[in-house]
Each structure stands twice: as C-alpha cells, then as structure tokens.
Amino acid sequence: MDLDRFSKEAHGLVDWMTEYLRTIETRPVRAQTAPGTIESQLPPSPPQQAEDFQAILDDFERIVMPGITHWQHPRFFAYFPANSSPPSVLAEMLTAAVASQCMLWQTSPAATEMETRVLDWLAQMLGLGAGWHGVIQDSASSATLVAVLVARERATGWRADDEGLGNCPPLAVYTSAEAHSSVEKAVRIAGLGRKALRLVPTDADFAMRPDALEALIRADLEAGIEPACIVATLGTTGTGGIDPLAAIGEIAKRHGIYLHIDAAWAGSALLLLETRWMIDGIEHADSFVTNPHKWLGVNFDCSAHYVRKPDELIRTLTVNPAYLTGQETGRVIDYRDWGIPLGRRFRALKLWLVIRSYGLEGLQAMLRRHIALTDELASWIAAEPSFELTSKPSLALLSFRYRPQGLDDAALDELNTRLVEKINDDGRIYLTQTRVRGRVAIRFSIGQTTTERHHVEVGWAVVREIAGTL
C-alpha cells in the first residue's frame, strides 16, 4: 500500500470509526453469534496474491463485526469496564504509526521519559504519596506476577533466581478468598505451586480479615514455611470488597512480608478524595497496581504498576546480553528490566493524551457519575420486593439476584443463571454472573465512558422485563 492510498483509506476509516461510535447503541451489546460462525467464514488458507483493500474492509464489516462484543457500548454492564475515549483512540493511531519498540531508553527516549513522568502525574492524581516508581505493564496480571517474583527473591535472598526453588524453604502467599484469579496464576507461574497459596477468609463486606491473616501466618511459621507475600485487593472482582490496608500493612511490616496491592479496577476511584480512605495504610506496601485501561478512558493495554524499590525489581528480572547494552546502560531507565516481555509498546502516550484532554476534573466527573448511578440503581433494586441486593454498591459495582417468593436457593441459582443468559441473548444490555457466599448472583458494573442515567434505567427495566417472562 503506497502512502497516497494509505491516506485515502485512513480518512475513510476515521469516518467509519466515528459512525461506529455514533451508532453503537443500535447494536446488541454481546455478540449474538454461535461458536464457529466467524471461523467458518474465514478461508482455511491465506491468499497467494495481494487482495484489494476495499474487499478486505467489506469482509471486516460482513464477517468480523457481527462477532464483536461492544465493550464501548453505554449499556455494557458486564465484568469490569475496559473503557476507552476518543483521545485514547487517537493516541493509539499515533502509537501505531510510530510503531516504536520501547524496550530500552535508547530505542525511544521519549517513550521512556514520558512513561516516567506521566506515571508520576498519575501517582499524584491517585494520592499515592511520595517514594513510588512507576512502570506501565500490559496487564494487572503481569504486575502481580512480577510482584510475586520479587517477593519470592526477597524471601530466598535471591537464591531462587539463581539455583531454582529446590534448595529454598517452602514459601507461602496470602490473599483473600475473594481475590482475582491472577494471584493464583502468579503463584503457579512463579513455581511456588498452588498449595503455597493461602486464601484468607473475608468479613461481612467481603474484605480480608486481618485476624485470619495473622493466624495463617503464625501457623505457617510454626510449620517451617516462610511467609513471602501478601496480595491485598482494593475492589474484588465478584463483590468489590476492599481489604483493610492499615491492619494488613501492619502485619506485613511486623513479619517482614512483601505487600502488593491489586487495585486493578477500583484504583481509578482514588482520583476522588471521598474514596481515598481505601489507601489508608499504603505506606507499608511494596507495590501497587491499577489499570487505567479499565475505568479511566485509556484503551487496553495500560496497567500502572508502582514499586518502592526498582532495584529489587531489576535485580529479579534483568538479564544483560551484549546486544541489549549501550553506552548509557545503568544511567537511564531501561523498562525492559521492569517486566516480563522485552518488547514494549509506547503506552504512555495514550495516558498522556487522556489526562491532558480531560484533566483531573473531567476524569473525576466521569467516576463520580458512575458511582452515583450505582447508588441510585441500588435504591431501585432495594425497592423491588422480588429482587434483592446480594452485595451493596462498592464504588460502581453491585450484585443482586431475582428472588420471587417460594423458591429455595438451588432453584434461585438455576433461575438467576437462566435470567442472565436470557438477558444477554436479548442484546440490549450485557451482564455477567458470579457467586456470592456460594449462591448465583448477577453483577451490575457501571463504567463505560458514555454511560448516562437513561442507559442504567433501560438496564434495570430490561432486567425486570425479562425476569417477568421466566
């Protein structure tokens, strides 16, 4: 494709994107395709000759778009948001055009230096306090894996990195029973084994119980097991539980245990002074992760990972082959040493564009709107006798279930599972299920950039309408 054609097609695609976003509400939120539908329309072998670009675009519309679930739809209430915004999309276009590999300072000094500065901005916006060093990872899962690796090395005096785990004492990692699956994955990938993971019981608000944490640590110490890492969560996935950092941090400090905070979703709410209480006690934490790619209008992927001691991170991960060293090695930041992959996209650019385009106040207004809408929705649910809240609103997440009279819990589980399936087949909204204290519940998560009150009203009306047909 020559650049004249590129220019023509690019302008056409910008028009397509604009129209897509303008009319997104006319599409079903969740893709309505059966497994295999898309693959069966794609030829089994690649073309030998060049194809016309317009024909490819036509296939994109005809074959691909029906198989897309529209995450930027304002009636997307499933999972957690992975919201985006026009400035972020424009930044992704620039990133794609420049197409730099930002693994070393030298391979694009601007990418490295902007990453450092814009993560400092974000730390200020989040109120994290002084003494943090930030890096952008592809996902919170990666940040948590890296945290567990550093904790493992700290606990073994960097022997595991050197000799493997064979000669090291058994280690334990603690997280709440409501924590994200990425914690177990990290423990397994780090070679500690699933049995090294302790799931700490939670309290009535789905938050980790510090007394139970302390008891598990003591039992491990008595058994000759080394407590290596605590992963606290702000905003658990099922119910939005917020672990008490001050009490957990005190325990971590007393026993000398590495403390990582997973605030993948809820961290964005730290932009609001009224929810800053969540990080009371953060001074005891060793690392912290939040995903601007969830709730801050920044396209996936952009996970902000902060550490107190970058030298520990670098010591755990660095490998220095001759072909990756330059004359400034050691004097500048080479972010390749701060994470798992070598290659890195220029991800700071979209964070920079979003923060500058909306300002702190614009982003705060979006977060406040989502939280207020969630509180309002909770009041509508509470007022409906055949529904119950299964967890109170936590920021912009709540869960509920349909509970008509006279059914036992097993029947209600079955009913609510069918309800969520019917809602998603309908297509006007998209919700996902979870289990709360063992029972099936439906999560309602509000966080799309363009979601307004009338979208939530439609959402609640659809739930009641479809429940009425069961």
Ligand X SMILES: *Cc1c(COP(=O)(O)O)cnc(C)c1O
Provide the terminal-to-terminal Cα distance of the chain, rounded to the nearest Å: 54
Q: Which token pair is 190?
A: 């780090």
Q: Which of 175, 200, 169 is nearest to 187 (CA)?
A: 175
Q: Among 83, 88, 95, 237, which residue sits at the site for ligand X (rule: CB under 6 A)?
A: 237
Contact 428, 75 (CB under 8 A): yes
Residue whose CB is less far from ligand X, 80 or 387: 80
What are the phi and psi torsion angles at 85 (to 5°)? -160, 155
Q: Among 122, 135, 136, 140, which residue sits at the site for ligand X (rule: CB under 6 A)?
A: 140
User: How many residues lie near ligand X (CB under 6 A)?
Assistant: 14
User: Which among 37-45, 65-73, 230-238, 427-435 is the span making contact with ligand X, rule CB under 6 A?
Assistant: 230-238
Residue whose CB is less far from ligand X, 70 or 180: 180
Residue whose CB is less far from ligand X, 85 or 237: 237
What Cα–Cα distance (Å) separates residue 75 from each residue in 66, 95, 313? 17, 29, 40
User: Which among 55-63, 109-117, 233-241, 378-386 is the span making contact with ligand X, rule CB under 6 A?
Assistant: 233-241
Residue whose CB is less far from ligand X, 232 or 467: 232
CB of 231 to ligand X, least distance (A): 9
User: Which among 134-142, 185-193, 420-428, 451-459 is the span making contact with ligand X, rule CB under 6 A?
Assistant: 134-142
State which amino acid sits at residue 191: G
Q: How far apart are CA 109 and CA 115, in angstroms?
A: 10
Residue whose CB is less far from ligand X, 262 or 286: 262
The SS3 call for residue 33 is coil
CB of 80 to ligand X, least distance (A): 5
Per CB under 6 A, 83 contacts ligand X = no
Q: How far apart are CA 387 and CA 370, in angstroms?
A: 22
CB of 235 to ligand X, least distance (A): 6
Contact 186, 144 (CB under 8 A): yes
CB of 64 to ligand X, least distance (A): 23
Q: Which residues contact 332 (CB under 8 A, 6 or more apart)?
A: 105, 106, 109, 112
CB of 195 to ligand X, least distance (A): 22
Number of alpha helices (DSSP H) and beta strands (DSSP E) in the chain: 14, 11
Residue whose CB is less far from ligand X, 289 or 467: 289
CB of 433 to ligand X, least distance (A): 16
Q: Among 72, 83, 139, 316, which residue sits at the site for ligand X (rule: CB under 6 A)?
A: 139
Q: Among 72, 141, 175, 451, which residue sits at the site for ligand X (rule: CB under 6 A)?
A: 141
Per CB under 6 A, 80 contacts ligand X = yes
Residue whose CB is less far from ligand X, 182 or 394: 182
Burial grade of 69 (CB within 10 A; 0-12, 13-18, 19 or more): middle
Contact 301, 323 (CB under 8 A): no
Local structure of residue 389 (DSSP, 8 states): E
Which residues ranging from 255 to 284 are in contact with ligand X (CB under 6 A)? 262, 264-265
Which residues ranging from 172 to 201 are in contact with ligand X (CB under 6 A)? 180, 182
Strands in 15-141 per DSSP E: 133-137
Q: Among 83, 112, 176, 233, which residue sits at the site for ligand X (rule: CB under 6 A)?
A: 233
The SS3 call for residue 65 is helix
The sign one gets for the Cα dihedral 205, 206, 208, 211 is: positive
Per CB under 6 A, 239 contacts ligand X = no
Residue whose CB is less far from ligand X, 141 or 399: 141
User: Which among 31-39, 64-72, 221-229, 232-240 is the span making contact with ligand X, rule CB under 6 A?
Assistant: 232-240
Q: Which residues contact 212 (CB under 8 A, 6 or more apart)?
A: 200, 201
What Cα–Cα distance (Å) separates residue 359 from each residue in 109, 334, 351? 25, 29, 11
Residue whose CB is less far from ligand X, 108 or 237: 237
Burial grade of 46 (CB within 10 A; 0-12, 13-18, 19 or more): exposed
Distance of CA 431 to the CA centre of its chain: 17
CB of 156 to ligand X, least distance (A): 25
Question: Which run of H or E residues covers position 387?
Answer: strand 387-394
Contact 137, 317 (CB under 8 A): no
Residue whose CB is less far from ligand X, 80 or 346: 80
User: Which among 135-143, 152-160, 334-342, 458-466 is the span making contact with ligand X, rule CB under 6 A?
Assistant: 135-143
Residue whose CB is less far from ligand X, 24 or 264: 264
Residues at the site binding ligand X, with contacts judged by CB under 6 A: 80, 139-141, 180, 182, 233, 235, 237, 262, 264-265, 291, 303
